[in-house]
């Protein structure tokens, strides 16, 4: 098991290096550079200023030298300086990482929990009105673009009914005590997490429904029923474990897409996370920040997939046994 994890980590390091080089190349192929944006922000520009800025950040050096310098710095844990903010990329990312983890984590937990519950409920009575209604709602949820859902929720809950805040991740009068702060962040989290979670809720409910329908037809479930176990116990104790394996697989595969969705949600709700930082960095050609965010995102996706693999072994011990027998 440990050897397997070590091998996966070694693979991941190689993958991260490849992703880093590819990102560096792609970003440098795009037209325009950070100096142009900084000059644009200044409302005036001349060649001297452009050259000064390019020299300051080493942008006037050959591509290979820039790439080599970058890889060398990253190897020592230094992600460089933001061209736009003149701050270390690490500090910018660390300030934005937690809001994104909170948003994505909450949305994912909500989507998995609610989606699985809906899936199981509809699988138990596939022809019921509840099942048909859930199918239609899942279709609607899956069809709505994330940004549109977000705007609609803002119009309803923040603008029309004034129940929840419009934007941000906490009130500016923050600091009135721990409980108040927790409630404040929670209040700001509701709409963004709901927006991001809805689309995945739809997917997971359909997936878990299909999976549960299949599992409920299997021999061991029939045996469990024949032995006189209650239906609730059969479904939740025996069938659910096997039914959620495809859901877990999809979570790992979709983690990257979830981060992409977070970018849109963070923009709509002014949620100060990595997605918004990446989006703004693209517009500003703040390549050092963009590279940093892409690298952190890559690591997050790789870690998510690694965790997914580990989760299999917890849900279904046979996977671990098979792997052991292979070793």
Partner 1 sequence: MKKWRLLVAVLAVFALVAAACASDDDDDGAAPAATAAPDTDDMADDDMADDGDDDMADDDGDMADDDMADDDMAAAHGPCNDGANVGGTLIIGSTQVPRHLNGTVQSGYATAVPGTQLNASPLLYDDEYNPMPYLAESWDVADDGLSVTLHLVEDAVFHDGMPVTSADVAFSILTAQAHHPFKPMFAPVTGVDTPDEHTAVINLSQPHPAILLAMSPGLLPVIPKHIFDDGQELPTHPRNTEDFVGSGPFRLVEYEAGTIIRMERFDDFFIEGAPCLDEIVMQIIPDATNIVLGLENGEIDLSVTLGPSANVLRLMENENVTVSSDGHEAIGQIQWLEMNVDDPALSDKRVRQAIAYAIDRDFMIDALDQGLTIPATSGIVTASPFHDSTVNPYDRDVDQAKALLAEAGYGDGDLSLTIDYIPPTQVIYAEYVVQALEDVGINVELSVSPDFPTWAGRIAGRDYQMTINNVWNWGDPVIGVHRSYLTDNIDQGIWTNNTGYSNAEVDRILAEAGQELDAERRAALYAEFQQIVSDEVPIYYLTTPQFWQAYNPTVQDPPTRTIWGMMSPMHEVWLDQ
Contacts with partner 1 by CB under 8 A lie at: 31-33, 36-47, 49-50, 52-53, 56, 81-82, 84-87, 92, 95, 98-99, 102, 105-106, 109, 113, 154, 158-159, 162, 165-170, 172-175, 178, 181-182, 184-186, 189, 236, 267-270, 272, 276-277, 280, 283, 285
Beta carbon of residue 99, minimum distance to partner 1 (angstroms, whole number)? 8
CA atoms of 308 and 8, how far apart (whole Å): 12
Angle between helices 2-29 and 287-315 (to 10 degrees): 150
The 8 Å CB, 24+ separation contacts for 214-220 are 214/243, 215/239, 215/242, 215/243, 216/123, 216/124, 218/242
- Could you write out the DSSP letters of every residue in 293-316? HHHHHHHHHHHHHHHHHHHHHHH-
Nearer to partner 1, 131 or 266 (CB): 266
CA atoms of 202 and 115, how far apart (whole Å): 6
Beta carbon of residue 258, minimum distance to partner 1 (angstroms, whole number)? 16
The DSSP call for residue 155 is: I
- Listed in sequence order, the residues at least 6 apart from 68 whose beta carbon sits closer than 8 Å to its beta carbon are none
Nearer to partner 1, 85 or 142 (CB): 85
Beta carbon of residue 91, minimum distance to partner 1 (angstroms, whole number)? 8
Nearer to partner 1, 56 or 66 (CB): 56
Beta carbon of residue 263, minimum distance to partner 1 (angstroms, whole number)? 12
CA atoms of 191 and 266, how far apart (whole Å): 11
- Listed in sequence order, the residues at least 6 apart from 223 whose beta carbon sits closer than 8 Å to its beta carbon are none
Beta carbon of residue 92, minimum distance to partner 1 (angstroms, whole number)? 6
CA atoms of 259 and 253, how far apart (whole Å): 12
Beta carbon of residue 183, minimum distance to partner 1 (angstroms, whole number)? 8
> Is there a contact between 135 and 184 (Cβ–Cβ < 8 Å)?
no
Nearer to partner 1, 167 or 223 (CB): 167
Beta carbon of residue 87, minimum distance to partner 1 (angstroms, whole number)? 6
Beta carbon of residue 320, minimum distance to partner 1 (angstroms, whole number)? 19
Nearer to partner 1, 79 or 277 (CB): 277
> Is there a contact between 192 and 99 (Cβ–Cβ < 8 Å)?
no
Nearer to partner 1, 22 or 155 (CB): 155
> Is there a contact between 105 and 200 (Cβ–Cβ < 8 Å)?
no
**81 bridge partner residues:** 88
Nearer to partner 1, 95 or 319 (CB): 95
């Amino acid at each position: 098991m440990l050897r397997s994890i070590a091998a996966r980590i070694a693979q991941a390091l190689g993958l991260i290096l490849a992703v880093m080089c590819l990102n560096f190349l792609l970003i440098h192929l795009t037209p325009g550079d950070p100096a142009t944006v900084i000059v644009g922000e200044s409302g005036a520009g001349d060649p001297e200023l452009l050259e000064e800025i390019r020299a300051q950040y080493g942008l006037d050096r050959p591509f290979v030298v820039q790439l080599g310098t970058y890889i060398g710095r990253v190897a020592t844990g230094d992600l460089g300086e933001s061209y736009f903010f003149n701050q270390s990329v690490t500090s910018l990312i660390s300030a934005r990482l937690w809001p994104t983890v909170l948003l994505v984590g909450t949305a994912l937990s909500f989507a998995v929990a609610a989606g699985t519950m809906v899936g199981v409920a509809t699988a138990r009575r596939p022809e019921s009105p509840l099942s048909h209604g859930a199918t239609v709602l899942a279709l609607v949820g899956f069809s709505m673009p994330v940004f549109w859902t977000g705007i609609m929720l803002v119009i309803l809950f923040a603008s029309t009914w004034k129940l929840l805040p419009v934007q941000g991740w906490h009130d500016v009068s923050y600091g009135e005590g721990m409980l108040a702060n927790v409630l404040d962040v929670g209040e700001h989290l509701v709409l963004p997490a709901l927006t991001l979670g809805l689309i995945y809720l739809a997917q997971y409910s359909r997936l878990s429904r299909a999976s549960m329908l299949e599992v409920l037809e299997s021999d061991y479930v029939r045996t469990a029923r024949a032995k006189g176990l209650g239906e609730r116990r059969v479904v939740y104790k025996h069938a659910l474990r096997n039914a959620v394996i495809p859901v877990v697989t999809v979570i790992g595969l979709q983690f990257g897409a979830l981060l992409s969705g977070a970018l849109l949600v963070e923009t709509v709700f002014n949620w100060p996370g990595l997605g918004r930082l990446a989006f703004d960095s693209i517009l500003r050609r703040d390549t050092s920040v963009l590279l940093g965010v892409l690298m952190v995102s890559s690591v997050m996706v790789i870690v998510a997939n690694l965790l997914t693999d580990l989760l299999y072994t917890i849900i279904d011990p046979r996977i671990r046994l098979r792997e052991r027998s292979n070793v």
